[in-house]
């Protein structure tokens, strides 16, 4: 009986040893797998470390490149500043040269008596736009040296520059030298323009008196009379009036003695303009 008990115990021990061996094998396999995972993890960490090192080097290079680019942009900005200054100087010199050439041209035109053609007429569209808001594409005509005979007196009058724009008819007189009498005479002539040009009866007459150099006092005097005053400037002929100035519309004047002279028609009596005395053929009107 003791042999049977001993044999059972031995059998149990053998079974336990078999289980232990199986467990040891499983643990060894697990350890091997763990070792392989650790090796793979270490390899990945090494690779990641190398990549991070390369990335850090690339970022350092990029930072250096950005620093160089910033320096280049600073140099470029300085060069552009110098270029801008040079262009400003060139523009000032070009403007000065253009002004001097225009001045010489104006003086030459003044000597040759062609200021109206050379200086005033090319500026008329801009002058109309500045003074009465006439768009450049609505200027109907610009005429230089228009000579017209009066229908009653047959007196011939020359108008230096004429221009039409919508409701306005601009009359210009250009003088080589300007004085108060010339300004006043021109203002007195404007109400009679419709007598020379009845075809423009529906338009408002505005006057522009021009000269190469105009004294400030004459500018103010002409402005008080409602005239546009033109003088030499950067844009050839410039409006010298106060900004916002609106020219006067000169309307025909009815003469006081019109009922005494049937020959006068609508012609007035301007004794300060001798050449208009030919309009009057009546002793009553001349008295």
pLDDT digits (tens, 9 = 90+) for 19-78: 877 887 888 888 888 888 888 888 888 888 888 888 888 888 888 888 888 888 888 888
Q: Each residue of 217-263: pLDDT tens digit? A: 999 999 999 999 998 877 678 999 999 999 999 988 665 444 434 44
**How many helices, marked H, and strands, marked E, lie in the chain?**
7, 6
C-alpha span between 280 and 287 (Å, rounded): 11
For residue 157, the SS3 value is strand
**β pairing state of 139-149 and 156-165:** antiparallel
């Amino acid at each position: 009986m003791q042999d049977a008990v001993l044999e059972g115990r031995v059998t149990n021990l053998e079974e336990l040893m078999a289980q232990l061996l199986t467990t040891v094998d499983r643990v060894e396999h697990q350890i091997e797998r763990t070792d392989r995972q650790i090796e793979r993890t270490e390899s990945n960490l090494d690779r990641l470390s190398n990549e991070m090192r390369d990335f850090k080097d690339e970022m350092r290079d990029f930072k250096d490149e950005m620093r160089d680019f910033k320096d280049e942009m600073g140099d470029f900005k300085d060069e552009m500043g110098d270029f801008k200054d040079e262009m400003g100087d060139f523009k000032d010199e070009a403007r000065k040269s253009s002004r001097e050439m225009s001045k010489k041209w104006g003086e030459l035109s003044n000597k040759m008596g062609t200021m109206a053609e050379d200086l005033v007429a090319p500026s008329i569209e801009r002058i109309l736009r500045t003074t009465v808001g006439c768009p450049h594409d609505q200027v109907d005509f610009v005429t230089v040296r228009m000579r017209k005979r009066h229908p009653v007196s047959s007196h011939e009058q020359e108008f230096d520059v004429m221009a039409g724009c919508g409701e306005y008819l601009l009359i210009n007189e250009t003088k080589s030298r300007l004085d108060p009498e010339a300004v006043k005479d021109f203002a007195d002539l404007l109400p009679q323009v419709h007598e020379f040009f009845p075809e423009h009866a529906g338009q408002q007459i505005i006057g522009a008196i021009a000269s190469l150099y105009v004294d400030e006092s004459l500018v103010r005097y002409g402005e008080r009379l409602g005239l546009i005053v033109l003088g030499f400037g950067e844009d050839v002929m410039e409006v010298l009036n106060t900004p916002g100035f609106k020219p006067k519309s000169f309307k025909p004047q009815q003469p006081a003695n019109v009922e005494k002279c049937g020959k006068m028609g609508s012609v007035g009596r301007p004794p300060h303009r001798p050449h208009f005395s030919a309009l009057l053929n009546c002793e009553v009107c001349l008295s």
